[in-house]
Amino acid sequence: MQSIRRIIHIAFVLCAICPALQAARPAEQADSAYKAGNYEEAARLYESALRTEKSAETYYNAGNAYFRLNDYPRAILYYERALRINPADEDAAYNLDLCRTKITDRFDRYPEMFFITWFKQFAYGQPADVWGNYGLCALLFSLIGFGIYRFGVSLRLRKAGFAIGVALLVATIVLEIFAALQDHRNRTEIKAVVMSETPFLPDDGTNTSKRTLHEGTTVTVLDEGIDGEAQVELPDGKTGWVKEKSLERVNK
């Protein structure tokens, strides 16, 4: 009787872990297909894996598969999604820039002060939770510094502990600000990639600057209008309206 219960217990455990094993299988099969040069199959399997596991690594691998298929718009979309989860992924950033040299549209970036650019690159260079964890570590060492100040046996040691505590407390505040900025950006900035050609009607109401946006262009969605239109901002800072159906959002 006890052995039967044990068998039933094992059966329940296997039933519980089988779905997890099946969920992980498409990504593993996709890796094998990619290594074998079967990029169409790899892309299909990565898509299947992303239905259950939306990780930066899987998005990046899917982008690589589409890049190999010369499907640059979809590769851009997946590199953008990988970077949204992990902004520090240098390989995804490099491949994204490479893809942008392969598409039709070119933009001159709108000018801004160099220190603003540097600040954005640094502040948005890590995920919000990473900045938050750094802030917690800085706070912990700050408390240790203040502990040394409070209980140090010599004046020099106490001064050093106080200086370290204050410096790391300031660092904690700065790091938590970075975390808040990144979190706010993730929640409010809606990026999308043009997946099919669409006319771009500028906000100035004239047709002199009317143009067509081609596949692969990344835009920021500002608003949704009537008749299936969306207001977007181009990489050069210009704003206007496009067909919503031509876009696929990055933060899906």
Q: Is the pLDDT of residue 12 over 80?
A: no
Q: How many beta carbons lie within 10 A of that of residue 100, not counting itself?
A: 18
Predicted confidence (pLDDT) per residue in 146-201, tens digit: 999 999 889 999 999 999 999 999 999 999 999 999 999 988 999 999 999 999 99
Q: For 52-81, what is the mean pLDDT?
A: 96
pLDDT-based confidence at residue 205 (cuts at 50, 70, 90): low
Give the Cα separation of 193 and 71 in Å (integer): 13
Answer whether 63's CB lies under 8 Å from 72's CB: no
Whole-number pLDDT of residue 4: 46
**pTM of model > 0.75:** yes
Give the Cα separation of 222 and 143 in Å (integer): 43
Whole-number pLDDT of residue 23: 47
Whole-number pLDDT of residue 207: 59
Least confident of 13-22, 118-127, 143-152: 13-22
Radius of gyration of the chain (CA): 25
Mean pLDDT of the chain: 88
Nearest to 194 by CA among 172, 177, 211, 179: 211
- C-alpha distances out from residue 158 to 139, 155, 170, Å: 18, 5, 18
- Burial label for 220, CB within 10 Å (0-12, 13-18, 19+), is middle
Whole-number pLDDT of residue 148: 94
Q: For 203-228, what is the mean pLDDT?
A: 84
Whole-number pLDDT of residue 91: 96
- Number of C-alpha atoms within 13 angstroms, CB side, residue 145? 18
pLDDT-based confidence at residue 7 (cuts at 50, 70, 90): very low
pLDDT-based confidence at residue 120 (cuts at 50, 70, 90): confident
What ranges in 152-227 are assigned the alpha helix state H?
155-188
Sheet architecture: strand order including 239-243 = 211-213, 198-202, 239-243, 229-233, 218-224, 190-194, 247-249
Give the Cα separation of 46 and 225 in Å (integer): 33
Nearest to 54 by CA among 81, 25, 76, 35: 81
pLDDT-based confidence at residue 225 (cuts at 50, 70, 90): confident
Predicted confidence (pLDDT) per residue in 34-58, tens digit: 999 999 999 999 999 999 888 999 9
Nearest to 234 by CA among 208, 207, 198, 182: 198
pLDDT-based confidence at residue 100 (cuts at 50, 70, 90): very high
**Between 35 and 23, the higher pLDDT residue:** 35
Phi-psi region of 12 (alpha: psi -120 to 50; beta: other; left: phi over 0): alpha
